[in-house]
Structure 1
Amino acid sequence: MAGGNREPGRTVTSKVIAVLGAFEHNVRPLGLTEIAERAGLPASTTHRLVAELTEGELLSRKEDGSYQLGLRIWELAQNTGRQLRDTARPFVQELFALTGETAQLVVRDKNEALLIDRAYGPKKVPRSARVGGRMPLNSTAVGKILLAFDEPWVRQSYLKLDIHKSTSKTIVDPQILNRQLKHINEQGYSITIDEQRVGAASIAVPVWHTGKLGAGLGLVIPSANAANMERYLPVLQATSERITRATAHIPLDTLLASHRKDNPRG
């Protein structure tokens, strides 16, 4: 992109990331002033970068002069984890067909669960993310699976963070959460009720990849039906085994840098 860097310590790339990051937690369009404030950039810099990003179709300009993420961002995002998603999708869809409950597959990206695929029907269950979106590790069953079965350093690093409380039932005490994660590791599955969204419960199991944790596979159901969630364990575990076999050829460690101990992104 044109133009020099007149702000010491910030590269052009970091500024572009900051501009795009302004939209991370917003579904509504943003004006230039708001983008500049969220990105921490001068108005002139923001105007130039937004214009170039719009020209490159990474942002799109609405008639009222506000901006939103462009379709090209969505197109590029679809390539994240595509090999894993395309291979696992038939199994995720079959899991939904067999249970009638929302089925989802996630991997860890930094300190969040990245939703690779999801299959759901007409049941009204509060959902916290779309495919390609992110969910907390501490308040979702799939997220707790990722913490409980990944390498110990992942859990230890996460427990030192300021853990987000999504609902009144979210566990944020590091000692309590650590004990729960150890229990999940011992029993082989995770359950949450109203911890991420009131009205939603979930159950999840690990998906393995060449002997290491690869992903988390789970079901999301209405909290009112949570009493007998363990009845889904056999089909969850069988589906996990099938995904494990089907994805063994995929170099999962290269999908996301956060899977590498020598390059932690937390």
Structure 2
Amino acid sequence: MAATADLDTVLGKAVTILRAFRPDDLVLSLAELVRRTGLHKATVHRLAGELVANRLLDRVDGGYRLSGGLFELGMLASLERSLLEMAMPFLQDLYERTHETVHLGVRDGHDVVYVAKIGGHRQAASPSRTGGRIPLHCSAIGKALLANADPDLQREVLAAPLVRRTPHTVVAPGILRAQLTKAVETGVAFEREESALGITCVAAPVFGLDREPVAAISVTGPTSRFRPETQVTAVRAAAAGLGSTIARRDRMR
């Protein structure tokens, strides 16, 4: 679940302004930022100006947009950057084998955060985006990670309300638990129109040196032509290859 900022601090208020932007937003007016954050207009105006001065926002016609400075900071995130550098050859190979949308994701709380997404001209219209997040229970990557996670985390997720994103989202804890057990047995997890209608997906966990799931790789395609069962071997091989690379790096430390 995404963390919320502390509105009692200046930093928390600034973060709240930045997090007010959604994936489809290009520009937000001052009035809209005030509405979304619940902060006073004068506070938003002052902090937005400071964010502009620090290249975290740009002031443009109609309001504000996120600045390239945020992208630069994001690329310095050491864990995701090193993981992406190691993963990219395997993701590219998997895309060349399948010509379907390939994802790399990590767990953050009860969500999957997508570190990479590769898709060509035929890519499925999935709700995923690099840097975006989706609940663990309704994505193949999320199920692959949750199936191999600490039992306490599994119990926590299964005990919480499971949000229904489509009519096919699994919201019954017993059914989800059975799917997680199957994912451990087979080494892959499936999603069938559970995060968005019209797409299906298969994912495999990536294990580090200590056999902890550090990430997962998936292949996604439209239900009209993609059969995820046919890509089980390919996605497992990509995940195993990345896991071996991570383990070799960790042994050398």
TM-score, normalised to structure 2, is: 0.89
Distance 1:58 1:249 in 2: 37
Contact 2:187/2:236, CA 8 A, preserved across alignment: no
State whether residues 96 and 103 of structure 1, in contact with CA within 8 Å, keep that contact through their aligned partners in structure 2.
Answer: yes
Deviation, structure 1 residue 135 = 2.3
Which aligned segments of 4 or more residues in structure 1 are displaced greater than 6 angstroms?
none
Measured at CA, do residues 166 and 212 of structure 1 come closer, stay the same or move farther in structure 2, by a change above 3 Å?
A: same
Give the distance between the partners of 2:213 and 2:119, measured in 1 at CA.
Answer: 25
- Report matched runs for 1:70-85 at 5 Å: 70-80=67-77, 81-85=80-84
Deviations 1:236-255 (A, max 9, x none): 1221111011122556xxxx
Secondary structure of the equivalent of 2:86? helix
1:78, 1:132 within 8 Å by CA — same for their partners in 2? no
2:18 aligned partner, one-letter code: L
The structural deviation recorded for 1:185 is: 2.1
Cα 1:173–1:232 shift into 2, 3 Å = same
TM-score scaled by length of structure 1:
0.85
Structure 1, unmatched stretches of 5+, are 1-7, 252-266
Q: 1:47 to 1:242 in 2, by over 3 A?
A: same
Secondary structure of the structure 2 residue equivalent to 1:138: helix
State the aligned residue count.
242
Q: Deviations over 1:107-163 (max 9, x none)?
A: 101221111122221114112122222222111111111111111122222223333
8 Å Cα contact 1:126-1:198 kept in structure 2: no
Write the deviation string for residues 191-213 of structure 1: whole angstroms up to 9, x where unpaired.
11111121111001111001111
Unaligned runs of 5+ in 2: 1-5
SS in 1 for 2:194: coil
- 1:100 paired residue number: 99
Partner residue, 1:12: 10
CA distance in 1, matches of 2:164, 2:185: 25
CA distance in structure 1 between the aligned counterparts of 2:235 and 2:56, rounded to whole angstroms: 38
What amino acid does structure 2 have at the position aligned with 1:85?
A: L
Aligned counterparts, 1:170-181, within 5 A:
170-181=169-180
Match of 1:49? 47
Deviations 1:154-179 (A, max 9, x none): 22222233332221111122333223
Match of 2:31 among 30, 33, 38: 33
Give the corresponding residue for 1:21.
19
Change in Cα spacing, 1:223 to 1:231, as seen in structure 2 (3 Å) is: same
Alpha-carbon distance change, 139 to 62 in structure 1, aligned in 2, over 3 angstroms? same
Contact 1:88/1:247 (<8 A) preserved: no
Give percent identity, aligned residues only. Answer: 31
Amino acid at match of 2:212: K
- The answer to whether the Cα contact below 8 Å between 1:189 and 1:204 also exists between their aligned partners in 2 is yes
Q: Distance in 2 between matches of 1:235 and 1:112?
A: 25
SS at match of 2:73: helix
CA deviation map 1:17-44 (0-9, x unaligned):
1111111455232111221222221111
Residue 182 of structure 1: aligned partner: 181
